[in-house]
Structure 1
């Protein structure tokens, strides 16, 4: 008597064959370009790499890099499959203004999913008497964070837009916090996830002012830069008694535009359908949700990512999808 297969067994074999076919052009491993160790990008990206590797059965890991600008270059050239970037540096990279390769339009980096916002905030010692942007004196020594960071790239331009004349200083956030406390800086202009550890440490040790933008200042910045309105919640710092008006720049995960559609689709699906796990990797992933898909107005979407978001109801136009 010949053995027979049940309908369920036949269906399973068909599904297996289709899955194997879908994976035929998948990479055997992948890297995610993140940033320096100790930063949010590195923690988020390394944890996300482990998650995707486990879910897809493909070896993957986070890679230490110089941050958003370098990540655009690494993904564009294919040296990294995935990366993390900020929409401001992404726009400059697309326009050929990435300092890593001036003139090269990095159009082979496509959007995967929204990550979280990076707010821009200003801090000064209370003893300085600086309580507003307009109080910052001409020639003030302002710390803008690590050289080449999103903060160092955009905050000096924002200050110039608001008419502030300053001396530019760079360094790690903790180091700049110490310089502010020692009187070597007048102001620190932060672009980092909140609460910024350096600010939290400062307010324990001394009295500080966390300076918000006026409505007019916020409008000027929104008109000139790829940022969105943002309020720093009063609960973020003990110094704040009410939300502080600010702006923020969205961070997005990116993929090489020529990666297989099914590979990117499954990576996005694994990420977006388990937010609790993403939040366990880093609290900022509370913003890594479907509803924030429309924050991308800079990058073309990877076809695999666009497919998943469209299945959930996202109205992504064809001219924003790579090859669409």
Structure 2
């Protein structure tokens, strides 16, 4: 019986050591699990790549990315101690901290930020013959795709509309994917649509390249402020001229961050080391994925919806970053 139990107990011990919490396993190894999203998207390869980076550069660290259902589930994984870190959409992070939207009455006030990673750039597109002011308020009175039903695109689009005083009643809503929206615009069946993503968005490349008589709308500073009064997670983003074929002028839009989130009680020294290692090896970070090229010290705090983890706060303070009051963690005050 003892011979049978011995190997089983060894396996159980290894599994328990590898579970979350950023805790040390046998031999002082620190295990870190990073919740991402489905393996076919951007979150997963970036999470896996960061895990490999930290495992390579931090002595005794074993960090691994794990697939998940995405940002909403990732909040629950962090809250329940089933993951130590997660990549999160800014809007979902803001809802979790505030106990609104997907987390109505179920706030996760212990959520902390490490860094903005890359942004989902807002592209509200509209046929030129419908453009009046050149800003997103021009979608009023038109047929407009808000994104597939129940998608992150629909959620963020409706909040942005609310920020400029519009609801679905002010448009004729459609629920199309990006390529289908551009195709419908080309065929004259749709006036515009919302297609957020990292630049350049392929559907918008196609829109400009195929001669659809449409443009990406601007967002003013006043509109940005009003949108952020609902969920404070967007930041200014300028799409440079010639990003898209025939785009002769800069587009003044906004973006929402995808960011690294952790529980407030994750070890301070560990988070400091994770943050420092990421920013001291940016050449390697930028090789992980095209979107990871946006990981830069000068944009690390853009749009973060939750206060910094005290370990990350310590690193950014050392680097001389000006840290907004709302991002200073209670643990550092």
Residues 1:318 and 1:93: Cα distance change in structure 2 (over 3 Å): closer
1:142-291 equivalent positions in 2, closer than 5 A: 142-145=145-148, 147-149=150-152, 151-164=153-166, 165-213=170-218, 215=220, 218-225=221-228, 226=232, 227-291=234-298
The alpha carbon displacement at 1:294 in A equals 4.0
Gaps of 5+ in 1: 1-21
1:2-41 equivalent positions in 2, closer than 5 A: 24=24, 28-41=30-43
Q: Distance in 1 between matches of 2:326 and 2:315?
A: 14
Q: Distance in 2 between matches of 1:49 and 1:60?
A: 5
Residues 1:73 and 1:184: Cα distance change in structure 2 (over 3 Å): farther
The alpha carbon displacement at 1:159 in A equals 2.4
Residues 1:319 and 1:187: Cα distance change in structure 2 (over 3 Å): closer
Instruction: Report if the CA contact (8 A) 2:186-2:212 is conserved.
Output: no
Out of 33, 42, 46, the residue aligned to residue 44 of structure 1 is 46
Per the alignment, residue 8 of structure 1 pairs with: none
Gaps of 5+ in 2: 1-21
The alpha carbon displacement at 1:51 in A equals 1.8
Per the alignment, residue 321 of structure 1 pairs with: 329
Per the alignment, residue 62 of structure 1 pairs with: 65
Instruction: Report if the CA contact (8 A) 2:200-2:243 is conserved.
Output: yes
Residues 1:187 and 1:315: Cα distance change in structure 2 (over 3 Å): closer
Instruction: Report if the CA contact (8 A) 2:159-2:227 is conserved.
Output: no
Per the alignment, residue 305 of structure 2 pairs with: 298
Per the alignment, residue 76 of structure 1 pairs with: 79
CA displacement, residues 237-273 of structure 1 (integer Å, 9 cap, x when unaligned)? 1131111121122332112222222222221122111
Residues 1:300 and 1:193: Cα distance change in structure 2 (over 3 Å): same
Q: Distance in 2 between matches of 1:300 and 1:284?
A: 23
- Alignment of 1:138 with 2:146, yes or no, is no
Instruction: Report if the CA contact (8 A) 1:222-1:229 is conserved.
Output: no
| Alignment RMSD | 3.1
Q: Distance in 1 between matches of 2:299 and 2:31?
A: 28
TM-score by length of 2: 0.76
Q: Distance in 1 between matches of 2:67 and 2:23?
A: 28
Matched pairs, number: 297
Name the SS of the counterpart of 2:305 in structure 1.
coil
Instruction: Report if the CA contact (8 A) 1:46-1:62 is conserved.
Output: yes
The alpha carbon displacement at 1:278 in A equals 1.3
Residues 1:242 and 1:92: Cα distance change in structure 2 (over 3 Å): same
Name the SS of the counterpart of 1:62 in structure 2.
strand
CA displacement, residues 33-58 of structure 1 (integer Å, 9 cap, x when unaligned)? 22344433333223222222322353
- Alignment of 1:119 with 2:124, yes or no, is no
Instruction: Report if the CA contact (8 A) 1:33-1:63 is conserved.
Output: yes
Instruction: Report if the CA contact (8 A) 1:222-1:228 is conserved.
Output: no
